[in-house]
């Protein structure tokens, strides 16, 4: 059954609500490419007391956005998303002031990563046909997994750059990055660390760090790393990170500098 035939039974206001739900998804998409066009469309569609949230029983993830916060969130996505990201309503169910929409998305990020998701959204309309609530039920595990994947990529790059004494390490670490050696001596910054690892490489001839199987355990903002050197020693680190930079690393046995003093 096509959408038009499926919607024949709807009242005029129900049909208006369905159109508004489709218009909102289209306005979100256009905000990614033409923010000047997207914002006024969202302003028109959303009620002044609009609220958006993802229903969850997890207090740590509960977040409610008002109209301006929601519009800002969509606008800010533009700086992270590629223009061929997609958001598409696959099917809808409407009655009275409620429209439920099944939506598929593929968010393609400028850093090359992408997240696909499936949603069952609920739009609640006020009596004037404005969207009063936007509840996004979704496969939220996809978001958590995506964050973990990004964290894992950062930490893996950090460990490889550390083993190679690569200047790339500077890009991967924050301004106040600290490395705390396994022997419990004072923390050192990235420049001193690079110097020491370069000396180890010079002495050892061949040196590098390669995460062992199961040796990257990445949580929220923190990761455990176990990496083996060609010498057979396993070096372990607990790495903290924030956004896209490593903020500190705590070294455990076997200390690189103990093994290659």
Which segment (40-48, 49-57, 162-170, 191-199) binds other proteins by CB under 8 A?
49-57
Closer residue to other proteins (CB): 13 or 80: 13
Q: Which residues contact 224 (CB under 8 A, 6 or more apart)?
A: 216, 217, 236, 237, 238, 239
| Minimum distance from residue 194 beta carbon to other proteins (Å) | 21
Closer residue to other proteins (CB): 2 or 175: 2
Closer residue to other proteins (CB): 11 or 19: 11
Asked whether position 91 contacts other proteins by CB under 8 A, the answer is yes
Q: Which residues contact 95 (CB under 8 A, 6 or more apart)?
A: 14
Asked whether position 57 contacts other proteins by CB under 8 A, the answer is yes
What is the footprint of other proteins within residues 176-195 (CB under 8 A)? Answer: 180, 182-184
DSSP of 14-49, one letter per residue? HHHHHHHHHHHHHHHHHHHH-HHHHHHHHHHHEEEE
Contact between 163 and 227 under an 8 Å Cβ cutoff? The reply is yes
Binding mask 96-115 for other proteins (x = CB under 8 A): xxxxx-x-x-x---------
* DSSP 8-state code for residue 109: B
In 3D space, the residue among 113, 114, 121, 112 whose CA is nearest the CA of residue 139 turns out to be 121
What is the footprint of other proteins within residues 206-245 (CB under 8 A)? Answer: 214-215, 217-219, 222-224, 226, 232-234, 236, 238
| Minimum distance from residue 48 beta carbon to other proteins (Å) | 18
Closer residue to other proteins (CB): 83 or 93: 93
- The encoded tokens of residue 181 equal 């050696």
Which segment (28-36, 68-76, 144-152, 195-203) binds other proteins by CB under 8 A?
144-152
C-alpha distances (whole Å) from 163 to each of 19, 189, 253, 254 are 56, 16, 15, 14
- Report the C-alpha gap between 258 and 260 in whole angstroms: 6
CB-based burial, 77-109: b 16+ in 10 Å, e otherwise: beeebeeebebebeebebeebebbbebebebbe
- The encoded tokens of residue 70 equal 């929601």
| Minimum distance from residue 130 beta carbon to other proteins (Å) | 13
Closer residue to other proteins (CB): 82 or 135: 135
- Among residues 109, 137, 208, 245, which is the contact residue for other proteins, using CB under 8 A? 137
| Minimum distance from residue 117 beta carbon to other proteins (Å) | 6
Asked whether position 59 contacts other proteins by CB under 8 A, the answer is no
Asked whether position 87 contacts other proteins by CB under 8 A, the answer is no
What is the footprint of other proteins within residues 13-32 (CB under 8 A)? Answer: 13-14
- Report the C-alpha gap between 104 and 26 in whole angstroms: 13
- Residue identified by tokens 């997890």 is 58
């Amino acid at each position: 059954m096509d959408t038009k035939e499926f919607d024949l039974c709807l009242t005029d206001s129900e049909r208006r609500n369905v159109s508004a739900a489709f218009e909102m998804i289209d306005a979100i998409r256009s905000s990614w490419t033409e923010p000047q066009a997207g914002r006024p469309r969202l302003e028109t569609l959303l009620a002044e007391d609009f609220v958006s949230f993802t229903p969850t029983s997890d207090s740590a993830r509960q977040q409610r956005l008002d109209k301006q916060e929601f519009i800002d969130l969509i606008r800010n996505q533009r700086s992270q998303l590629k223009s061929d990201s997609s958001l598409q309503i696959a099917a809808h169910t409407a009655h009275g002031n409620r429209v439920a929409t099944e939506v598929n998305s593929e968010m393609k990020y400028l850093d090359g990563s992408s997240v696909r998701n499936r949603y069952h959204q609920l739009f609640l309309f006020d009596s004037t046909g404005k969207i009063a609530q936007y509840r996004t039920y979704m496969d939220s595990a996809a978001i958590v997994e995506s964050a973990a994947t990004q964290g894992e990529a950062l930490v893996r790059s950090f460990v490889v750059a550390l083993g190679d004494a690569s200047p790339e390490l500077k890009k991967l670490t924050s301004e106040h990055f600290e490395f705390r050696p396994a022997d419990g001596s004072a923390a050192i910054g990235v420049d001193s660390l690079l110097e020491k690892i370069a000396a180890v490489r010079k002495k050892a001839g061949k040196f590098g760090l390669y995460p062992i199987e199961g040796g990257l355990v990445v949580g929220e903002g923190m990761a455990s790393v176990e990496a083996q050197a060609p010498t057979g020693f396993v070096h372990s680190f607990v790495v903290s990170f924030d956004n896209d930079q490593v903020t500190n690393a705590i070294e455990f046995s076997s200390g690189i500098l103990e093994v290659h003093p």
